[in-house]
Amino acid sequence: MFQILYNFKKYVLMLFPSTSGFLAQGELVFIVPAKKIKNFLRFLKDHSHTQFKLLSDISGADYPYKKNRFEVTYNLISITYNTRISIITYVDEITSIDSIVDLYKCSNWFEREVWDMYGVFFYKNNDLRRILTDYGFKGHPLRKDFPVTGYIEVRYDELQKRVITEKVSFTQDYRDFSFNSNWLQ
């Protein structure tokens, strides 16, 4: 199985020289430039030796210390060949990614979620609106630079039998981990 994945990786890297790939826990992972992601995914879906017809999910991550701080990962499944693959791309706050709604219909919801949580813009997604936060919400809550104070939480209080509003504050007190354990003595 390892040899088959290795040969497939070599074949794909020959067709897409601007990508890189590696094996992680028995799955292929490709890193693709954001400008080429749609063509790469179209190849994986339509090629007779790949048949990755099922988009499992699209996820995001924020690494603020990197030049392209947002990582967007596409997870695909090939039912025909019983295999999975992950495709990763990186973008910054300004760069957009081409939407793949015309390739995978279900990607609309995943793209909306990544946009709502991280602010990654998917070009030509005609339904890019909030999906997990309120429509009037300002900001993107899974960004590392998102402020954790100054917002209001609206919830139902069972004791007061009414809806109440409270200011949100997540305190991150300084914690001293001495790593001293009585079990080690």
Predicted local distance difference test score (pLDDT) of residue 181: 53
Homologous superfamily of the 2-127 domain (CATH): NADH:ubiquinone oxidoreductase Nqo5 subunit (3.30.460.80)
Predicted local distance difference test score (pLDDT) of residue 165: 87
169 contacts 148 by C-beta, under 8 angstroms: yes
Domain ranges across the chain: 2-127
Q: For the purposes of burial, counting CB atoms within 10 Å of the CB of 25, is it exposed (0-12), middle (13-18) or buried (19 or more)? A: exposed
Predicted local distance difference test score (pLDDT) of residue 153: 78
Query: Which portions of the chain are predicted below pLDDT 70?
Result: 1, 169-185
Q: For the purposes of burial, counting CB atoms within 10 Å of the CB of 37, is it exposed (0-12), middle (13-18) or buried (19 or more)? A: buried
Predicted local distance difference test score (pLDDT) of residue 117: 95
Give the pTM: 0.81
Predicted local distance difference test score (pLDDT) of residue 125: 92
